[in-house]
Amino acid sequence: MQALGKHILVEFYGCNPEKLKDTRMLQTEFENAADMSGATVVDSTFHTFSPYGVSGVVVIAESHLTIHTWPEYGYAAVDLFTCGDTVDPWKAFSYLKSVLESNNTSTIEMKRGQLNDFEGQLRHKPACA
């Protein structure tokens, strides 16, 4: 079955709480993770919540990477969604696991845009407009 993309839903547990509070570091490291996976970064925005917690998105030409943190629980919810065959979201996963110092993870990989009835090769090539 052919798919347009991969979407990895990640639960990062046992993370370093200080890293989960550091908005600037998270933005930099998520952009690095996108680069490492072979993606093209288009833009990113990260927001700090009071008293703590961060939500952020890195928009890539091939889709997006997102994070929502709960430092008080050492937990982060992360989505790594990539389209096409040129990006490996699992490279981003491994890099972020190390950056966040997570000691336990749970992942689900979904195939997005499964085209059961499509015959032939998918010609979709994600690109930034």
121 DSSP assignment: -
Active-site choice (55, 68, 94, 124):
68
Active-site choice (7, 37, 83, 102):
83
Distance CA 77, CA 74 (A): 11
6: left (phi over 0), alpha (psi -120 to 50) or beta: beta
User: 68 catalytic, yes or no?
Assistant: yes
Distance CA 88, CA 122 (A): 18
φ, ψ for residue 68, nearest 5 deg: -135, 125
User: 83 catalytic, yes or no?
Assistant: yes
Structure tokens at 52: 């703590």
User: 7 catalytic, yes or no?
Assistant: no
Active-site choice (63, 94, 102, 128):
63
What percent of the chain is helix, strand and coil (3-state, nearest 5)? 25, 40, 35
* Catalytic annotation, residues: 63, 68, 83
